[in-house]
Amino acid sequence: MQATSDKQQFVIVGGGTAGWMAACLLAHHWRDKVDVTLVESPEIGIIGVGEGSTPTLKRFFSDLGISESDWMPRCHATYKTNIRFVDWSPESGVDSYSHPFICQLDTFSERAFYLNCLTRRLGLDVETTPEKLLFNGWLANYQLAPVTPPHFPFNIEYGYHFDSGLLGQFLAEHAVQKLGVNHIQANVKAIMTEANGNIGRISCADHEDIHGDFFIDCTGFKSMLLQDTLGVPFHSFSNNLFNDSAVVFPTEVMNDLPVETRATALSAGWTWQIPLTHRTGNGYVYSSQYISSEDAENELRTHLGLGKEAEARHLTMRVGQVEKHWANNCIGLGLSQGFIEPLEATALHLVQTSVEIFMDEYEKGNFTAQQRDNYNATITERFERVRDYIVAHYKLNTRNDSDYWRDNRNNNNLSEPLLKLLDVWFRKGDLTQEIHRQNLASHFGTTSWHCLLAGYGTFPPLSNKQPGTGCQYAERELESFFAGCMLNFKTQKEALSSL
Ligand SMILES: Cc1cc2nc3c(=O)[nH]c(=O)nc-3n(C[C@H](O)[C@H](O)[C@H](O)COP(=O)(O)OP(=O)(O)OC[C@H]3O[C@@H](n4cnc5c(N)ncnc54)[C@H](O)[C@@H]3O)c2cc1C
């Protein structure tokens, strides 16, 4: 199939969430200068997991002009303000802690949070619980949706939970019907390169060849274009992220529809619990080095109180990233470019920001090597910073119930930036300054790092003498301030029903 228009031809291979997100963004922003074709196999399914987002997905929909009432009911979506980590650090006396999405109201409390963490590291007994010091933690505790009434003067950031299969279908419909994306269902058999190494066309079993100027690899873990055809190497993160498998069970819808994902530590990994309006998503992410798939399935059944009749789905994961996210005339997006396990639900966030950064760079200089290098350096760095934040969850655990947790704690394959950051924390130094000094906040900023370190209770024992002052939470009367703000919010169920 040769292009007939003068516009540049962009060909996306793969119709999972990554492919359709890319199709929507490219066709929406570059309608006048590119034709977008998406080809997907009618036989090879999508991965079909990935049900939690970060707040960037809110920007994605508003960028495309799609309202929550358009897409959320169709995808059985719920609001998400927080991730609650349960049983990750029992030895420090913490049963669970929150990592709320940071929002504008936190400008009143972030500084108090940092100061209290420093005071606590000096041995004084002050409030350091993230969900008390950050507003979305309050909403999560009271199961209130982050939707503000019109008069409310602050923005609340939030993410979503959704059915990933239905989200893909919704985006496909939008891309084809509203944005004119050309959708081809065919099995790609071979990718043809030209003398200069660029991809020229793709050959399908049941369709004529598809020519293009630029190609986007969204073929999932297969990475048919970027890794298989262009030979871009893959760098595994397995030396400090041990999990390589998952087992998934849906369960009944939850009565009270929480506004948070629960991440509960189990014997060789952790399980997510994601509340949707038609079911609850559950999955055990584990390391096959430490537990068999059968034992993992049984452990999750027991954890969920499920009988033998419930059907499990098993998945394997390749954790790491490609050496170059943009090679020749091709970028990889989604699982084909890399994957960091889903503990902080960052995958779709990385897809979206990759497309946004690609479009910025491409507009500056099309195919130039400088644009490619800038893009590759930025995306590689983002993957590394997300990796480090996830690795810290394992390094700091205080569980003693299995070799898995002990080996994670004793793992010393940490990156230099992470080592320096932890060193500053344990030496009672200024974490904010260190994050700025190393420029580490591309994804998880100072407040997220304080949530993790304080949430885990990584503090020295309390001093014998306690002056009883110095708690910024009390002195700044944050409790009554946040409690007053809370009066403006409805429950998740009420907010969803008004969509
Ligand atoms: C256990 C687990 C939990 C996750 N949880 C989260 C989460 O909470 N939040 C989050 O953001 N992300 C999560 N993710 C990641 C998320 O699922 C993916 O990033 C997302 O679904 C995008 O996948 P994809 O589109 O890259 O690949 P896929 O969904 O695998 O799609 C691949 C596409 O390529 C096509 N294809 C393959 N071969 C051919 C061929 N020969 N010819 C034509 N077409 C072909 C297929 O038909 C399919 O359309 C999770 C991942 C896993 C493994």
Average pLDDT over residues 357-377: 88
H/E stretch holding 352 reads: helix 347-365
> Residue 328's pLDDT band (boundaries 50, 70, 90)?
very high
285 Cα to the center of ligand 1, angstroms: 16
CA of 100 to the centre of ligand 1 (A): 26
Q: What atom of ligand 1 comes closest to residue 51's alpha carbon? A: 8
* Reported confidence tier of residue 368, pLDDT bands at 50, 70, 90: confident
Q: Are 129 and 475 in contact (CB under 8 A)?
A: no
CA proximity to 399, closest of 95, 32, 165:
95
How many residues comprise the chain? 499
CA distance 272 to 347: 15
Tell me the pLDDT tens digit for each residue of 450-483. Answer: 999 999 999 999 999 998 889 999 999 999 999 9
Cβ of residue 187 lying under 6 Å from some atom of ligand 1: yes
Distance 168 CA to ligand 1 centre (A): 10
Q: Using the predicted structure, report yes or no on whether residue 2 has a pLDDT greater than 70.
A: no
Domains of the chain: residue spans and CATH? 8-51+163-238+319-385 (3.50.50.60), 93-153+415-499 (no CATH), 245-316 (3.30.9.100)
Contact (Cβ atoms closer than 8 angstroms) between residue 489 and residue 105: no
CB of 317 shorter than 6 A to ligand 1 = yes
- Measured in Å, residue 71 CA sits from the centre of ligand 1 at 20
Please count the CA atoms within 13 angstroms of the CA of 21 that sit on its side-chain side. Answer: 27
Residue 195 pLDDT grade (very low, low, confident, very high; cuts 50, 70, 90):
very high
Strand 245-251 to 313-316 pairing = antiparallel
308 against 170, higher pLDDT: 170
Q: Is the dihedral of CA 388, 390, 392, 394 positive or negative?
A: negative
Nearest-atom number in ligand 1 for the CA of 334 is 26
Token pair of 336 as six digits: 């084909």
Residue type, 488: N
Sequence-ordered alpha helix ranges (H) in 43-107: 56-64, 68-71
d(C-alpha 53, C-alpha 158), whole Å: 9
**Inter-CA distances, 341 with 227, 281, 321, Å:** 20, 16, 12
The residues, any chain, with a CB within 8 Å of residue 100's CB and separated by 6 or more, are 81, 82, 130, 131, 134, 135, 136, 137, 139, 140, 451
Pocket mutation for ligand 1, best pick of 335, 339, 349 (most atoms within 8 Å of C-beta): 335
What number does the ligand 1 atom closest to the CA of 14 have?
34
Ligand 1 mean position, distance from CA 163 (Å):
13
Cβ–Cβ under 8 Å, residues 333 and 351: yes
Judge if the beta carbon of residue 165 lies within 6 A of ligand 1. Answer: no
Contacts of 376 (CB under 8 A, 6+ apart): 324, 325, 326
Closest atom of ligand 1 to 220 CA is 27
218 lines ligand 1 (CB under 6 A): yes
Segment 29-44 mean pLDDT: 95
* Model confidence band, residue 40 (pLDDT cutoffs 50, 70, 90): very high
Name the percent of the chain lying above pLDDT 90. 93
Closest-CA residue to 350 (of 390, 310, 406): 390
Alpha-carbon span 297 to 267, nearest angstrom: 12
What's the mean pLDDT when you consider all of the chain?
Answer: 96
Smallest CA-to-CA distance from 103 within 150, 52, 143, 54 is with 54
CB 153 within 8 Å of CB 172: no
> What is the band of 247 on the pLDDT scale with cuts at 50, 70, 90?
very high
Q: For 66-75, 214-223, 296-305, 462-471, which range has the lowest pLDDT when averaged over its residues?
A: 462-471
Is the pLDDT at 367 greater than 80, yes or no?
Answer: no
* Residue 87 to residue 93: CA distance in whole angstroms: 10
Ligand 1 site-directed mutation target among 40, 244, 353, 354, most atoms within 8 Å of CB: 40
Shortest CA distance to 491 belongs to which of 177, 154, 140?
A: 140
Instruction: Evaluate if residue 92 carries a pLDDT over 80.
Output: yes
Round to whole Å and give the CA distance between 397 and 75: 35
pLDDT at 3: 58
Q: Band of the pLDDT at 443, cuts 50, 70, 90?
A: confident
Catalytic residues: 80
pLDDT at 1 over 80: no
- Ligand 1 center to 22 CA (angstroms): 13
Q: What is the pLDDT of residue 4?
A: 63
pLDDT band at 369 (very low <50, low <70, confident <90, very high): confident
143: number of CA atoms within 13 Å, CB side? 12
Say whether pLDDT at 58 is over 70: yes
- Tens digit of each residue's pLDDT (9 = 90 or more) over 216-246: 999 999 999 999 999 999 999 999 999 999 9
Q: Which two tokens stand for residue 363?
A: 């507009």
For ligand 1, atom 20, the nearest C-alpha belongs to: 17
How many other C-beta atoms are found inside a 10 Å radius of the C-beta of residue 370?
10
Q: Which amino acid is at 49?
A: V
State how far the Cα of 387 lies from the Cα of 379, in Å rounded to an integer.
Answer: 12
pLDDT score, position 308: 87
The alpha carbon of residue 157 and the mean position of all alpha carbons in its chain are separated, in whole angstroms, by 15
The closest residue, in CA terms, to atom 4 on ligand 1 is 50
CA dihedral of 388, 393, 396, 399, whole degrees rounded to 10? -150
pLDDT at residue 53 above 90?
Answer: yes
Q: Which of 95-104, 216-225, 437-446 has the lowest mean pLDDT?
A: 437-446
Ligand 1 test: best mutation among 20, 21, 25, 49, most atoms within 8 Å of CB?
Answer: 49
H or E stretch including 296? helix 293-304
Confidence of residue 363 (pLDDT cuts 50, 70, 90): confident
Position 456 scores a pLDDT of 96
Rg of the chain's alpha carbons, rounded to an integer? 23
Q: 26 has which bridge partners? A: none
